Structure 1
Amino acid sequence: MTAFDPLRDQLLEAAAEFAGGPGDLDGILAGIVTDVDRALREPLEIFPVCHHSPASALAMARRLREKRPQVVYLELCEDLRPLLDELRNCKLPVAVQAFASEVDGFPPDWSPLSVVAPITEASAEYQAIAYALDTPGVELVCVDRSTDHVFQWSPRAEETTTQDGDADSEDDAEGKDLHGDAVGVEIGDLRPRFGQLEAYLLHHGKVRHWSEWWDQYVEQPLGSTGADHATYRQVMVLIGSLFRRLAPGDPSRVTVDEDRERYMWTRMREHLASSGVDPSQALYVCGAFHAASHVPEFGLTGSDWEISPRSATKWLYGLIPSSHSAIEAQFGLASGSVSIAAATWAKSLTRTGVKPFQLQGQTGTRKRAAAKTTVAPPAAVAEPVTDKLTKFLASPPRLDGLDEAELLGWSVEIVRLARRHGYLASTADAIAVFETSILLAGMRNRARPTPYDFADAAVTCIEKEAVPGRRDVRRLCEIMLGGDRIGQVGYDALPPLARDVYDRLEPLKVNVEARTIQRALLDLKAQPELVPCSDLLWVLRRLMPPDVVRPIMGERTLGRKSIQESWDLAIGRSQRYLIELGYEGITVEQVLEQRLRREVWAPSATAAGALTAVEDSLLYLRSRRFTDELGARAVELLAAERTVDEAPEVLQRIRRLLAYYRSGERGGLPGWCEDFVKTGYAHYCTLLPTAFVEDETGVRQVAAMLGFLFGMENLALSLGCDRAQLEISVQQSHPEAPAKVALLWAAHHQLGLLPLARLRERVDELLGNPMVLPAMPQYVSGFLQALVPVPGLTSFVVEMLSKAFAQLPDPVLLPWLPQLIKTLKEQAPELVPVLVREAGRTFPGSLPELDSWTPPWSPDAAAPAAAAGVVVSGGPVARLLAEHPEPTDAVAGLLGVTGSWGVLDAGSPVADLLGAYGETTEAVAELLSV
C-alpha cells in the first residue's frame, strides 16, 4: 500500500469510464502515479524544476533554507563546474560556454563547436548555485554529461533550436544573437514533445503559445498560491511523467534522454561513495522530465553503467553575455516570456517575503541583506510521503482578484511609450486598453489579466494597422514590463586576451565596457602615444565582425599612415566575440598569426589567399620573419596550381606588394618576392597556350596572365628568366573565341610581332565583314581586357570603340551595350578612368569644335603629316627635345637613328621616327606639361 493508491484507483476508474474499457489510457494514468511515487520515495531527494520558472526558483529558495543540504547535484555539464565560481563577477544573465575551434573525433564541418548554458536570476539553478558557493561546507557537483558527450550522443542539428521571428530593428536584434549558433543546454526542458498534445492544450487553454499556457496553468497555481514543497514536487513530477509518456517514440531522442539519466545517476553514486555524504543531506536538481526516469540506473540502488570516454577535442571554457531575447530565441520560447518571468519573480518575492540566495558581490542585481546560512547537522529525519496531488487536482484554481492599480499603471505607461514612438495614442486608448485587458482575461477564464492579456489588448487598441516607428506595440509592452535585460561579463571573469584589450585601450579614455557605441578620436600626430591603440583597433577590425570596431575616419593600406582616426566602438555589447577570441590565444596578435598560418596551410589554400595573408601580416603584425614565411608559402602554392582562376587577384596583389617594397626604406625586394616572380613567369608561360583554348578559362584570367608576364618581364629577365619562353608560349597559342583572339593580337603587338598599322587594318577588316559583325562586341571586349597587359593600346581601344559605335548596326550594338557596361563594372572598373582620360584627350572639349573636328584615325586626316608637324621647328616637342638632348640621343642610338635635335624638319629620319610613334610622343609631352 502506498499513499497514492487511492489516486491511482480514481484515475483508473475515470479512464475506464472515459475509454469505455481497458486500454492504453489506464496504463498511462497509472504509470504517471507510479512515477510520482517512485521519485518521492528515493532516499536522495529529487528536486524537479522547469528552466527559467519563477515558481521553481521560489520553491528552490524555500527548500534550501529548510533542508540546508551539504551537497547539491546540478543537472549541468560536469566540465562547466569551474566557471560557476566566476558568476559573482558578472551581471546576469550570462551563459557558461564551452568552445572548440579545432575538432578531433567529430566531422570537420561541425567546427567550431560551442555549447552554452544560460543562467538568469529568476531560475532555480541560480538559487542552488548561489546557496552552494556562498555557504561554507556545501559542495556543488555538476553531474550531467560533458560538453564533449553533447556532440557525441546527438546530431548537432537536433540539439540546436532554430531562432524564430525577425527582429523589429537593429537594436532589438542585438540581444538575440548573443548565443550565435551555439548548442543550448538548459535545466528543465519541460515542454510537450507531442505536437498534437501541445496544440490541444493551447486550443482549450485559449492561449496563443506554450509560454502563456505554462504561466496560467502551472506557474500561477504553484507560485501565487504558495504551494508547499511536497505539492510542488508532486505536481512537477506529474507533469514531467505525463509529457514523457506521451512523447513520440523518436529513438534518437529517447536514447539521448536515457543516456543523460544514466550518466547523472552514475556520477551521483560515485560521488556519494567517494565522499561518504549521507544521501539525505544531498539534493538533486534536475528537470521534471528526468525526475520521472524509467532507466534501470535510476536511484541509489540502480545498476552500474559505463561512461564512454571523451574525444580528443580540446575544449576551452568561458562566460559570455546572454539576454532574455537570446534565451527565448534559442529555446523556442515566446518573445517576452523570460522578461515576464523576471517581473513575476520580483513580484513573488515581494508578496511571499521569501529571501532569495544571491552571490556575494554579484553585479547588476538588487542588493539584499545577506542571510546567515548554516549547514544542517548530518542526522535528518526522512519525511513521510503523503498524497498532495489529489487535493491539488480536485481543488478549483484560486482566481486572484483584479489589481486595478497595477493594470491602470500599465495602461497609462504603454500609452506614454507609444506616443514617444510615434503612435497617435490618447487617454481614450489607455481606457480602452484597460477595459479590453479585463475582457480578454474573462474570455480566457482569468479574473486577473496577465501580462499576455495586457499585451494583446494594447496591440488591439493602439497599434491597429500601422507601425509608425521601428518598434511595434508588443515590443513596447516587453520593454515596459522589464525589457530585454542583457548581461555582462566582469573584468575579472574575462579571459587574458580580453583583459589585455581593455588595458591597451585605456589611453583612449573611452568606456569600452559600455553597452552604447563609444566614439574614439585619435590624433596620431599630436599624440603619438596613441599609435599602439590604433594598431590594436585595426587588428580587432580584422578579427571581429565589422559592426564591433568600425573606422569612421582613417585607413590602413600598404605604404600609408593615417594622421587622424575616428572609431565607433561597440565592444561592450559584443563581448561574446572578444571572449571567443580569448579561446584562441593570449593576445590578438597571436590569434591573427595563428589564423593566417591556418589559412595559408589549409588544403584549400591558394596563392591569392597567401598573398592576402602576406598583406595582412605587413599591415597588422609587422613581423619580417612571419611575412617571409607566408611569402614562401605563396610561392609553393603558385607552383602547385593547375588553374588560373585567381590570376587577376594574384596580379593585383603582387603588383601592390612590389610597389610597397620598392618605395621607401624597405630594404629592397625580399627573397620570396623574387622567387614568386620567377615562378609565376615560368608557371604562366607554361599554362598560357592551354588557357587560350580552354572554354573554362575566361578572358579576364588570360589577360591577367599576360599582365603578369608583360608587367613583370623586366624583373623576371633580371632574375634569370628567358624571354624566348614567353615568345614561344604566345606563338603556340591558337584561340578560337573572338575575345581571346583580340587578346592574342594585343600580345603579338606587345612582343613586336604585329605593328599598330597592321592591327588597325585587321580591325577595319572585321568591321567591313558583314559575317563577323555579330561577333564584333566580343572582339571589343577582348581589346578592353587587353589594356591590363598592354596599356599602350589605350588610344587604339578608344579609336576602335568609336568605330564600333559608328559602324555597328543597331540590332548588334544595342543588345551589346548593357553587357559592355556590366563587364566594365565587374571585371575592369580600374580601366574605365583610363579610357575616359584618353577619350577626353582625343575628342574635342566643346560642342562647337565638334562640327569641324576630324578623328585622327580618319582617312581624311593627314596623320603622318600631323605627326611630323608636331616635331617641326618651334613645336612643343621640338623644344622638349632641344632642351633635353641626352636621353633622346641615347634612345636614338639604340634605335640606330641619327639626326640633329635642334631643328626637326618634316621628312628627316628623326621626324619620321616620331611621326610613326606619335601617340607615345604626345603622351610623354602631356605628362611633362609641354
Structure 2
Amino acid sequence: MSAGPFDALREQLLGAAEALAGGPAALPEILAGLVDDVGLVLAEPLEIFPVCHHSPASALAMVRRLREKQPKVVYLELCEDLGPLLTELRNCRLPVALQAFASDIEGFPPESAPLSVIAPITEASAEYQAIAYALETPGVELVLVDRSTDHVFQWQPVPGATAADAEELHGDAIGVELGDLRPRFAELEEHLLHHGRVRHWSEWWDQFVEQPLAGADHETYRQVMVLIGSLFRRLAPHDSQRYDSDEDRERYMWTRIREHLAVTGTDRADCLFICGAFHAASRVPEAGSDPSTPDFTITPRTGSKWLYGLIPSSHSAIEAQFGLAPGSVSIAGATWEKTLGRTRLTPFRLEGQKGGRKRAAKALPPPAADAGPVTDQLTGYLSAPAALDGLDEEELRGWCVDIVRLARRNGYLASTADAIAVFETSILLAGMRGRARPTPYDFQDAAVTCIEKDMVPGRRDVRRLCEILLGGDRTGQVGYDAMPPLARDVYDRLAPLGLNLEQRTIQRALLDLASGPELAACSQLLWMLRYLLPDHAVRPIMGSRRLGETPIQESWDLDLGRHQRTIIELGYEGVTVEQVLEQRLRRAAWDPKATAATALKAVEHSLLFLSSPRLTDDLGARAVELLSTERDVDEAPAVLRRIRRLLAFYRATTPALPAWSERFVTEGYAHYCTLLPVAFVEEETGVRQVGAMLGFLFSMESLALSLGCDRTQLELAVRQAHPESPAKIALLWAARHQLGLLPLADLRHRVDDLLGNPLVVPAFPQYVSGFVQSLEAVPRLTPFVVETLSNAFARLPDPILLPWLPTLITTLRSQAAELVPVLTREAARTFPGTLTALDAWTPPWLAPQPAARASSPPPANAVLLASHPATTDAVAALLGCEGDWSVAATGPDPGTAVAELLAAHAESPSAIAALLAAPSGGGARG
C-alpha cells in the first residue's frame, strides 16, 4: 500500500528491519503498518484529532487547532447519553466526573447492581477544551459518539466488573478511558522504562512525548500521536476481549458519525473527530466517513433505568482509576499552567466556571486557510533528538526553597543546606537520566533523598509534600444548581445552622434544642444523614438517638464539602432523604440474607428516623416472617436485645402493643421452644446463643402466656434438653431452677459437689461461665453467681484458677458485657466496703439461718388438725397411713409440723375432701 508522502520513511524503516537479521519475522510488517496507519488517518476527509487522556500536550494542541480550524461540528469520544450533563459543568469547580448510575437494572445479573460509569474532566485535558469551545461558540454542535453507558456494561466480560481499583472518591465505578494511551504489551512497557531510565509510565510519557510535543505544530503532533497509537495497537494482544471491545467501540463511533452526517448534510471538512490515539489508528472495515462504508449493528439498550449527574473528582482519584503514577495528574496540571503562561495561549473556558485562573477571553480570529497537501513530519521528528528546554535555575531554586519550608511545617529538621542539596541532586539525577532540565520527578527523588532520610515525623512523607508543592491533589466541587433535587434539599434544610456547607473543612454545629425548637428538623436530618453517609461526613460529638429519648443539646462535626459525592449519589436513589432511607430499610429487611435481627434493626431505625407506622408495621411483619423460617439461633442475642427495647418503647408510649410485636412474641416463644433441645446439644451453638434463647422465653413468658402460648411446651423443651458441655449444663440447671424444678438448695448442693470432685474441678470454670450467661434468662440468680464465683476463688487451686481468669474476663467483655455491671453491683452489695470490716465479715451464704418466729400464726388447717388428734388418727387409719399425729410427736409447734406434713402430701387434702363429699350410703364411709 502506498502512503504518498511517507514512502521515504517506509523504505527507511523496512531497510532497518532487514538489517536486523535476527529480528522477528513480523518486524517488517509492523514497521510498514505504522506508516500505513498514519497515511490512512491523514487521508480521511473528516479530520481525526488523536489525544491522550489528561495530557497537557494534547490540550495545548487542541486549543491551537480549534482556533485555527474553528469546526462547526465536533465529534467527541464520550458516552452519547452523557451529553445533557455537559452544560452543568458551568456550575462546577474542576475536576469533576460525569456519572451514570443505575440501581434498578434489567438485563444484567442482580448481584451486579448498582451500575456506575464515570468520566473525569480536568481543565488540562483536550476533551474539556473541546467541550468549552463547542458550548461557548455560537453555531457549533457537539456530538458525543461513543457507546452508551448501558453498552459499557453490555460489553463488559462480567457485568458489574470494575476497570481498575480506585480510591474512595470514585469507588468501584467503571472509568470511561477517553484517550487512553498506554502499551498493552507488558514487555514493551518494561523495555521503554528501562531504556528511558525512568520508574513508571507517566514519567516516560512526560519526558519523551509531553515535553517534545508541547510546542510542536499541528501536523507533527497529529502524525506522532497516530504513530504511537498505531504502535501500541499493533503490539496489543489481539485475542483479548478488551481488544474486541475496542474495535466494537470504533465501529459504534463511526456508525454514529455517518448517521449524523447523513441527517444534517454537514460538510466533512467542517468537522473534527476527537478520539484516543489508540482508536485513531483503527483498521476495522466500518471506520471512515464515506457513506458507502458498512454500518455496525448497534444492539438496543436494556430496560435498566439510568440516572445522570455530576460528582466531585480529584487528581488522586483519576490516577487510581486509570493506573497513573501518584502525582502525575497534579504535575500535568502544573505543566499546563506553566506552558500557558510561557506561550501566552488563551484556553477555552465555560462561562461561569468556578476555580482555576481567570483569563480574559479572546475573540476567535477568522479560520486559517487550508495548509495544503500533507507533508512528512515524522522523519525529521524521529531522526532528530528531542529539543528539550534547558535548565531553569530560577524555577528549580524556587522548588527547593518551597519544599524545605513545607517540610519544616510537617516536622522535618530541614535547613538551607538541604535546599542546596536538593538543588544539586536534582541536576545530578537529570544528567544521569540523559536530560538537561530536571523534571518534577527528578526533583521528587532528590527531595526524598536529601530531606526524608530514614524517617517520616508527620502524616505526610516528602514525596507527598512534593505533590502538594507542584499542584496538590486538587478536588473538584459540584455547584448548587448542578446538584440533584435531594442534595439541594439537604443544603436548604440545613441552612438554619448558619454554616457554609460547601467549605472543604470540618465545621462544628451546636444545636440547643431546648431554646431553639426550630433546630429539631436539622437534628432529625443530621441523624438520617448519619445513617446514610460515611462516618466522617456527619459525626455526632454530643448527643444520641435512642428510643424514647428527647434530646436537649447536640454537637456535630460536619464535613459535607469533602463528601459531596455521597450526597449527590443519594439523589440517584430518591427525591428526598426520607424516601432513600425508607428504600434502604426495606432493602435491608427483604435482602435474601436478612435475618430476624436485621428486620428488627430496621424497625428500630424506622421509629428513630421516620414517622411512618405503615413502614414500621411492614418491617415488623417481615421480622415475624424471617423468625419463623430461621433454622439456627446465631442471631438470638441480637433478637432478644432489640425486641426487649422495642417492647419497652411501645409500653411507655402507646396504649397497646402493635399486632406485629404480639405475633413476634408468640412466634418466638414457640420457635425457641422447638429449637431449644437441639441447641443445648449442638456444638455449633454457643452458650451465649442458648442463654439468649432462655432469656427470650423467660422474659417474654408472661406476655406469651397471655397471648395464648402454652407453658407446657417450655417445660417439655427443658426436660428434653441433655447437654454435655459444662457451660450448657449450668444453663440447664438455671432454667430448671427458674421453672421450679430445681430448688436453690439443690442447686447449691450440686455446685458444692462439683468443687469437691477432683475430676470435675478442671472444668469448673466452664460451669461458672454458664452461670454468668444464665443471668440473661434468670436475673434472680445474681446473688448465687456471686456466691459461686467467691467459692471458686476460695477453693480452686492456682494452677486452674489463674489460667482461667483471662478467659473469664475476655468472655464477659465480648459476650456478656451488659451482665458485668449486674455482677459488680451485687458484689458491692454483698461484700464489705472496708478492710476492717472484712475481718469480721461472714458470707451471707455461710451465716446461720434465723429460726422461724414463734409469733407467726400457723395455717388454719394445721391448727384444726392439731386440735382434733383423734379425728386425724381416724382419717389416717381410714387412708391406710400410720404415724403419730399427736401434739407430743409434733413438738412444741404442732401447727408448723402439720403444715410441713401437708406440704409433703399435697394430694391428701384433695383426696380427703372428695372422700368426705361422697353420698352417705357410700361404702367407704360405712
Q: TM-score, normalised by structure 2?
A: 0.90
The separation in 2 between residues aligned to 1:549 and 1:405, in whole angstroms, is 45
Q: Which amino acid is the alignment partner of residue 849 of structure 2?
A: A
Select which of 795, 804, 812 maps to 1:816.
804
Which runs of 4 or more aligned residues in structure 1 lie more than 6 Å from their structure 2 counterparts after TM superposition?
Answer: 374-377, 892-897, 906-913
Shift of 1:147: 1.5
Over aligned residues, Cα RMSD in angstroms? 2.6
Select which of 91, 112, 115 maps to 1:113.
115
Residue-by-residue CA offset, 1:847-889 (whole Å, 9 max, x unaligned): 222223222223xx31244xx6xx899xxxx9xxxxxxxxxx9
Residue-by-residue CA offset, 1:752-802 (whole Å, 9 max, x unaligned): 111111111121222222222233222222211111111111111111122
Shift of 1:22: 8.3
Higher gyration radius (CA): 2
The answer to whether 1:188 aligns with 2:176 is no
Q: 1:108 to 1:907 in 2, by over 3 A?
A: farther
- Alignment correspondent of 1:676: 664
SS in 2 for 1:520: strand
Residue-by-residue CA offset, 1:456-480 (whole Å, 9 max, x unaligned): 2222222222222221222111111
SS in 2 for 1:830: helix
SS in 1 for 2:843: coil
- Which deviates more from structure 2 when the two are superposed, residues 17-26 or residues 72-81? 17-26
The answer to whether 1:419 aligns with 2:408 is yes
Shift of 1:130: 0.4
Select which of 123, 126, 131 maps to 2:128.
126
Asked whether the 8 Å contact 2:212–2:388 carries over to 1, the reply is no
- Alignment correspondent of 2:708: 720
Select which of 144, 160, 165 maps to 1:162.
165
Q: Which amino acid is the alignment partner of residue 38 of structure 2?
A: V
Q: 1:895 to 1:260 in 2, by over 3 A?
A: farther
SS in 1 for 2:310: strand
Asked whether the 8 Å contact 1:48–1:233 carries over to 2, the reply is yes
Aligned pairs for 1:306-325 within 5 A: 306-325=297-316
Asked whether the 8 Å contact 1:237–1:292 carries over to 2, the reply is yes
Q: Which amino acid is the alignment partner of residue 704 of structure 1?
A: A
Q: Which amino acid is the alignment partner of residue 396 of structure 2?
A: L
Shift of 1:376: 6.5
The separation in 2 between residues aligned to 1:539 and 1:680, in whole angstroms, is 30
Asked whether the 8 Å contact 1:190–1:289 carries over to 2, the reply is yes
- Alignment correspondent of 1:405: 394
The answer to whether 1:210 aligns with 2:198 is no
Asked whether the 8 Å contact 1:261–1:293 carries over to 2, the reply is yes
Asked whether the 8 Å contact 1:51–1:190 carries over to 2, the reply is yes
Shift of 1:375: 9.4
The separation in 2 between residues aligned to 1:821 and 1:750, in whole angstroms, is 26
Aligned pairs for 1:763-782 within 5 A: 763-782=751-770
SS in 2 for 1:177: coil
Asked whether the 8 Å contact 1:135–1:374 carries over to 2, the reply is no
Aligned pairs for 1:238-637 within 5 A: 238-301=227-290, 302-373=293-364, 383-637=372-626
Shift of 1:67: 1.1
The separation in 1 between residues aligned to 2:665 and 2:398, in whole angstroms, is 76
The separation in 2 between residues aligned to 1:399 and 1:584, in whole angstroms, is 52
The answer to whether 1:660 aligns with 2:649 is yes
- Alignment correspondent of 1:795: 783
Residue-by-residue CA offset, 1:239-297 (whole Å, 9 max, x unaligned): 01111112234421211111111111111111111221111111110000111112111
Shift of 1:374: 8.6
The separation in 2 between residues aligned to 1:300 and 1:33, in whole angstroms, is 21
Residue-by-residue CA offset, 1:129-170 (whole Å, 9 max, x unaligned): 00111112211111111112222212368752235xxxxxxx
Shift of 1:908: 12
- Alignment correspondent of 1:882: none
SS in 1 for 2:765: helix
- Which deviates more from structure 2 when the two are superposed, residues 235-244 or residues 697-706? 697-706
SS in 1 for 2:582: helix
Asked whether the 8 Å contact 1:555–1:561 carries over to 2, the reply is no
The answer to whether 1:19 aligns with 2:10 is no
Shift of 1:392: 1.4
- Alignment correspondent of 2:827: 839
SS in 2 for 1:572: coil
Asked whether the 8 Å contact 2:737–2:743 carries over to 1, the reply is yes
SS in 1 for 2:311: strand
The separation in 2 between residues aligned to 1:296 and 1:896, in whole angstroms, is 116
- Alignment correspondent of 2:138: 136
The separation in 2 between residues aligned to 1:358 and 1:907, in whole angstroms, is 108
The separation in 1 between residues aligned to 2:592 and 2:178, in whole angstroms, is 41
The separation in 2 between residues aligned to 1:30 and 1:288, in whole angstroms, is 18
Shift of 1:896: 13
- Which deviates more from structure 2 when the two are superposed, residues 403-412 or residues 547-556? 403-412
Q: Which amino acid is the alignment partner of residue 49 of structure 2?
A: F
The separation in 2 between residues aligned to 1:93 and 1:667, in whole angstroms, is 56
Asked whether the 8 Å contact 1:321–1:575 carries over to 2, the reply is yes
The separation in 2 between residues aligned to 1:403 and 1:703, in whole angstroms, is 76
The separation in 1 between residues aligned to 2:689 and 2:263, in whole angstroms, is 70
- Which deviates more from structure 2 when the two are superposed, residues 612-621 or residues 238-247? 238-247
Shift of 1:661: 1.1
- Alignment correspondent of 2:148: 146
- Alignment correspondent of 2:76: 74
Unaligned residue ranges in structure 1 (runs of 5+): 164-175, 879-888, 898-905, 914-930
The answer to whether 1:52 aligns with 2:54 is yes
Shift of 1:341: 0.8
SS in 1 for 2:562: helix
The separation in 1 between residues aligned to 2:106 and 2:527, in whole angstroms, is 32
Shift of 1:381: 5.7
Q: Which amino acid is the alignment partner of residue 629 of structure 1?
A: D
The separation in 1 between residues aligned to 2:862 and 2:698, in whole angstroms, is 21
Asked whether the 8 Å contact 2:755–2:795 carries over to 1, the reply is yes
Q: TM-score, normalised by structure 1?
A: 0.90
SS in 1 for 2:602: helix
The separation in 1 between residues aligned to 2:165 and 2:842, in whole angstroms, is 69
Asked whether the 8 Å contact 1:137–1:375 carries over to 2, the reply is no
Shift of 1:382: 8.3
Asked whether the 8 Å contact 2:346–2:361 carries over to 1, the reply is no
Q: 1:650 to 1:104 in 2, by over 3 A?
A: same
Select which of 10, 28, 31 maps to 2:30.
28
SS in 2 for 1:4: helix
The separation in 2 between residues aligned to 1:622 and 1:895, in whole angstroms, is 62
Q: 1:96 to 1:852 in 2, by over 3 A?
A: same
The separation in 1 between residues aligned to 2:860 and 2:363, in whole angstroms, is 103
Q: Which amino acid is the alignment partner of residue 57 of structure 1?
A: A
Shift of 1:573: 0.8
Q: 1:259 to 1:894 in 2, by over 3 A?
A: farther
The number of aligned residues is: 867
The separation in 1 between residues aligned to 2:287 and 2:791, in whole angstroms, is 89
SS in 2 for 1:863: coil
The separation in 1 between residues aligned to 2:766 and 2:156, in whole angstroms, is 55
Asked whether the 8 Å contact 1:43–1:280 carries over to 2, the reply is yes
- Alignment correspondent of 1:749: 737
Q: 1:896 to 1:766 in 2, by over 3 A?
A: farther
Unaligned residue ranges in structure 2 (runs of 5+): 865-891, 900-926
